Structure 1
Amino acid sequence: MSAPASSELRAETLFPVGVAALAKRYDGFLLDQWGVLHDGTTAYPGAVDCLERLRAADKTIIILSNSGRRGRENEAVLAGMGFGRELYHHIVSAGDDAHEALLRRDEPAYRDLGERCLLIARPGEEYLADGLGFSLTADPDQADFILNLTFDPERQPLPGWRPLLERGAARGIPMICGNPDRHRVHASGRLHEAPGLLALAYEELGGQVHYHGKPYPRIYRSCFGIMGLPPEKVLAVGDSLAHDVAGAANAGIGACFIAGGIHKDELVWPDGDAPEAESCFALFARDDQHPRYCIPRFAW
């Protein structure tokens, strides 16, 4: 079968004004956090209202996040920005997904990991490995594997991790990555580095990485189990082509791309309110990701 012509690909992406048009077709929504609901500090205008309207329409809502933190912590973060617990049904995070896999140890990659864990986490977040039964070590020569969940790029810049990554890769120990995002939006307007960049660097050094979160299938299976809806009734909403849109395609569900998130500066905004369609098509073609819908921001 020949590849679709560019005009056919363009016809696949629709540009509704907002979420209201999508609520008529879908019963379940998988919503990203950063770049969709908030910038890490403040809720985006219209986001809380949009969730309220979706809940009033009896839609099933899961916050599907690549955060390395567990769901309860993400609940607290969202509550601090005005997203009450009544606005969604569940939070499913990449950190939760990794935690579950490490606890169960029933998948080939996890059966023989060993017990000595080198944890990559922000200062003060060592508790993220609690309850897993591992002993923590900061020495890559003593570790059986690396668990990569969070890091602070300003206090822990990527180059500072390189000696540790080099030693781990030389020894052939695997990395478990509980946040595959390489960048995330920030209140400053700049993109901040994220744990996925450490995982990429490890792979480039020859290290083996087992990923959790979007776009990998395990986390979507968890969401489908919770929602109990057929795939054609579920829509993923996110701002990352590599994670949200690609993950939705892998899971066999539709995707709505939020243009005003992580890719905002790669698009043309003639009047500041909506992106130019041609610039969206060029971005989609470049990454070979073609969402079903594209809207400027998560608003009704």
Structure 2
Amino acid sequence: MTASSRLVLADGLQPLAGRYDLILCDVWGVLHNGVKAYEAASDALTRFRQKGGRVVLVSNAPRPGASVGTQLDGFQVPRTAYDAIVTSGDLTRLAIKERIDQVVHHVGPPRDMPIYAGLDVRFGSIEEADYVVCSGFDNDEEETVEDYRASLEAMRARNLLMVCANPDLIVERGHMILPCAGTIALAYEEMGGAVFYAGKPHGPVYERALAVAADLSGHAIPKERVLAVGDAIRTDIAGAAGFGIDSLMIARGIHAEELGLHRGALVSDHVQDWVDRQPVRPTAIMDVLSW
């Protein structure tokens, strides 16, 4: 699609649904905003599944998929809306298992410790560690990357690998935009540090999601029949483009203010201009996910 071609502004998922057998759907920003669930989104995915489609939730949450499922239950997101969940936390656990004999230094809040549940992990200081797992900020409402600068310098001095358990830079929580682990990882990478990103926009999480969908369906699903849904250009849309699948961008997420949604509904020309200035383009864009 060229920069001058018109973007598809979709009124709902239904007109697009027949093109796809599988939806890889983002969670935070599409199904909920960290405070409340979006009922229309769950309804749309449920309807897609009722028509024979598969839905795998693909999240950059730094926790295992089962933990995210429990969180979605708390938001009253019905299990009819999805078949399975794949998270960056799942891929982080695989990275930890591969290094089970090594000492890990954890950067992140206590709520992310389920990453290590059931694993015989040895924790240590930066000076003792063989590698680092970064799941986020200890206090994402008050801290910035600068609060971690000294620690990052110490990691870099020892040339430690950082496993980033949540590649997102920012996330929407209610009406707040808060930093994620990806912000810390990016700062470390800019210092010359080595980073393994466990989630979107990187390929391994998509490969795992397609493998899960193939197991559920009993056959592989071709990429041209897969649609990624998400609200972030840098992760959801760029990840889909890099993996070679179509994407549907949900506008009323982390880019809502840039798209002028604080002033009302999507305006075609404004959205077109914004998308034309982005490094990657979605196949279509929608205000909120609905049928």
What TM-score, normalized to structure 1? 0.88
Residue 282 of structure 1 corresponds to which residue in structure 2? 273
- d(CA) in 1 for partners of 2:248 and 2:50? 20
Q: How do 1:78-117 residues align onto structure 2 when only pairs under 5 Å count?
A: 78-103=72-97, 105=98, 115-117=102-104
Contact 2:171 2:177 in 1 (8 A): yes
Residue 260 of structure 2 corresponds to which residue in structure 1? 268
- d(CA) in 2 for partners of 1:169 and 1:83? 41
- d(CA) in 1 for partners of 2:2 and 2:16? 26
Residue 252 of structure 1 corresponds to which residue in structure 2? 244
Decide whether aligned partners of structure 1 residues 155 and 136 sit closer, same or farther in structure 2, where only a CA change above 3 A counts.
farther
Decide whether aligned partners of structure 1 residues 155 and 72 sit closer, same or farther in structure 2, where only a CA change above 3 A counts.
farther
Decide whether aligned partners of structure 1 residues 80 and 198 sit closer, same or farther in structure 2, where only a CA change above 3 A counts.
same
Deviates more, 1:252-261 or 1:36-45: 36-45
Q: How far off is 1:141 after superposition?
A: 1.3
- The list of structure 1 runs, each at least 4 consecutive aligned residues, that deviate by more than 6 angstroms after superposition, is none
Q: Secondary structure at the match of 1:40?
A: coil
- d(CA) in 1 for partners of 2:110 and 2:96? 22
| Partner of residue 215 from structure 1, selected from 178, 201, 212 | 201
Q: How far off is 1:121 after superposition?
A: 2.1
Decide whether aligned partners of structure 1 residues 270 and 67 sit closer, same or farther in structure 2, where only a CA change above 3 A counts.
closer
Contact 1:48 1:82 in 2 (8 A): no
Residue 231 of structure 2 corresponds to which residue in structure 1? 239
| Partner of residue 178 from structure 1, selected from 158, 165, 179 | 165
Q: How far off is 1:157 after superposition?
A: 4.3
Q: What letter is aligned with 1:282?
A: D
Decide whether aligned partners of structure 1 residues 261 and 6 sit closer, same or farther in structure 2, where only a CA change above 3 A counts.
same
Q: Secondary structure at the match of 1:266?
A: coil
Contact 1:119 1:129 in 2 (8 A): no
RMSD: 1.9
- The C-alpha deviation readout for 1:175-209, integer Å capped at 9, x for no partner, is 0111100000111x121111100101111222111
- d(CA) in 1 for partners of 2:111 and 2:261? 40
Q: What letter is aligned with 2:58?
A: L
Q: Secondary structure at the match of 2:141?
A: coil
Unaligned segments of structure 2, at least 5 residues: 214-219
Contact 2:135 2:165 in 1 (8 A): yes
Q: How far off is 1:45 after superposition?
A: 4.3
Decide whether aligned partners of structure 1 residues 114 and 283 sit closer, same or farther in structure 2, where only a CA change above 3 A counts.
farther
Decide whether aligned partners of structure 1 residues 57 and 240 sit closer, same or farther in structure 2, where only a CA change above 3 A counts.
same
Establish whether residue 145 from structure 1 lines up as the match of residue 131 from structure 2.
Answer: yes
Q: How far off is 1:156 after superposition?
A: 5.0
Contact 1:245 1:255 in 2 (8 A): yes
Decide whether aligned partners of structure 1 residues 136 and 19 sit closer, same or farther in structure 2, where only a CA change above 3 A counts.
same
Contact 1:146 1:175 in 2 (8 A): yes
Unaligned segments of structure 1, at least 5 residues: none
Q: What letter is aligned with 1:46?
A: A
- d(CA) in 2 for partners of 1:140 and 1:102? 16
Establish whether residue 196 from structure 1 lines up as the match of residue 187 from structure 2.
Answer: no
Q: How do 1:222-233 residues align onto structure 2 when only pairs under 5 Å count?
A: 222-227=208-213, 228-233=220-225
- d(CA) in 2 for partners of 1:270 and 1:135? 47
Q: What letter is aligned with 2:150?
A: P
Residue 120 of structure 2 corresponds to which residue in structure 1? 133
